[in-house]
């Protein structure tokens, strides 16, 4: 039988081998040892032509010798981005499957759709799909400065771009203008899309933009923003982890600003 990679979850924790520096994922043969305690099992895609399965095991399962459970965030920078992205997909599918066992409209037990990633109610035909919540992120540029803010739950000294959930009825641009106005009281224009990233904590799609400062004096939103200020691109504070979309957005923008300034001065 062809090999498989197993993403085995207990809650939101993933099973890996014990090595701190180079943990590995269990493969096809491992499944025999957990067959009796599998709660759910989905095929989630391929990694390097190897089929990947998302499996959830019951809470009372204790990893056998040589294995441990760990949070996905601890594997950033350890596994490559394609694998992290697949595990993130697996985590969201398992969580969705767990929380959509019953129809939210009539309460009957759902069944799996044959071809789509969907749950179908056999009684009222209502379909449920995995949820994706768009989050807009904006990095505001003013000459050779960028506006960064910190929320109270950030690591000490760390600053990042402005971000917030898109609300129903909003375009991404509308959400970005609103979030920036609410969080730091600034108006922007020239919104440019940069990139996006799935962020499975729990089911966000981060959509990152750069934008240009127009007007307004920074007033941090109480409760949400602990501090916000302009940073010269040559004197940046502690920034988010390099795999985060926030950091990629900041690095990309800072590189562009420096290149422009170098050309002009």
Residues of this chain that interact with Zn ion (CB under 5 A) are: 103, 105-106, 108, 121, 123-124, 126
Closer residue to Zn ion, CB minimum distance, 10 or 128: 128
Closer residue to Zn ion, CB minimum distance, 25 or 103: 103
CA distance 110 to 40: 14
Closer residue to Zn ion, CB minimum distance, 103 or 206: 103
List the Cα angle 177/135/80 in 5-degree steps: 135
Closer residue to Zn ion, CB minimum distance, 3 or 108: 108
Q: Which residue has the tokens 């899309």?
A: 193
Q: What is the dihedral of CA 134, 72, 162, 245, to 10 degrees?
A: -80
In contact, 119 and 109? CB cutoff 8 Å:
no
Q: Give how far the C-alpha of residue 68 lies from the chain's centroid of Cα atoms, to the nearest Å.
A: 23
Shortest Cβ 123–Zn ion spacing (Å): 5
Shortest Cβ 97–Zn ion spacing (Å): 17
Shortest Cβ 51–Zn ion spacing (Å): 32
Closer residue to Zn ion, CB minimum distance, 89 or 119: 119
- Which pairing describes strands 127-128 and 13-17: parallel, antiparallel, or unpaired? unpaired
Closer residue to Zn ion, CB minimum distance, 69 or 126: 126
Shortest Cβ 195–Zn ion spacing (Å): 38
In contact, 94 and 72? CB cutoff 8 Å:
no
Shortest Cβ 101–Zn ion spacing (Å): 12
- H-type helices in the chain, by residue range? 81-99, 172-184, 245-264
Task: Please enumerate in sequence order all residues whose Cβ is within 8 A of that of 53, keeping only pairs 6 or more positions apart, or say none.
Answer: 4, 5, 6, 7, 31, 41, 42, 43, 44
Task: Please enumerate in sequence order all residues whose Cβ is within 8 A of that of 259, keeping only pairs 6 or more positions apart, or say none.
Answer: none
Nearest to 247 by CA among 239, 257, 258, 259: 239
Shortest Cβ 114–Zn ion spacing (Å): 18
Shortest Cβ 117–Zn ion spacing (Å): 18
Closer residue to Zn ion, CB minimum distance, 126 or 230: 126
């Amino acid at each position: 039988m062809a090999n498989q990679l197993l993403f085995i979850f207990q809650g939101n924790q993933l099973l890996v081998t014990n090595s701190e520096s180079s943990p590995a994922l269990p493969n096809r043969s491992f499944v025999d040892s957990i067959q009796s305690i599998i709660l759910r099992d989905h095929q989630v895609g391929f990694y390097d032509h190897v089929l990947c399965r998302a499996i959830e095991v019951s809470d009372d399962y204790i990893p056998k010798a040589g294995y441990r459970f760990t949070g996905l965030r601890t594997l950033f920078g350890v596994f490559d981005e394609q694998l992290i992205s697949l595990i993130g997909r697996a985590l969201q599918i398992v969580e969705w499957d767990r929380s959509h066992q019953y129809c939210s409209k009539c309460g009957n037990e759902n069944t799996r759709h044959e071809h789509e990633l969907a749950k179908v109610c056999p009684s009222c035909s209502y379909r449920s799909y995995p949820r994706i919540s768009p989050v807009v992120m904006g990095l505001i540029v003013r000459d050779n400065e960028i506006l960064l803010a910190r929320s109270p739950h950030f690591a000490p000294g760390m600053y990042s771009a402005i971000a917030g959930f898109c609300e129903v009825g909003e375009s991404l641009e509308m959400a970005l203008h609103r979030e920036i106005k609410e969080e730091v009281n600034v108006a922007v224009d020239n919104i440019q899309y940069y990139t996006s990233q799935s962020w499975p904590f729990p089911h966000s799609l981060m959509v990152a933009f750069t934008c240009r400062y127009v007007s307004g004096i920074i007033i941090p939103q109480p409760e949400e923003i602990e501090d916000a200020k302009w940073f010269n691109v040559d004197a940046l504070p502690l920034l988010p982890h390099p795999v985060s979309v926030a950091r990629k957005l900041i690095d990309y923008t800072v590189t562009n600003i420096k290149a422009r300034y170098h050309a002009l001065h």
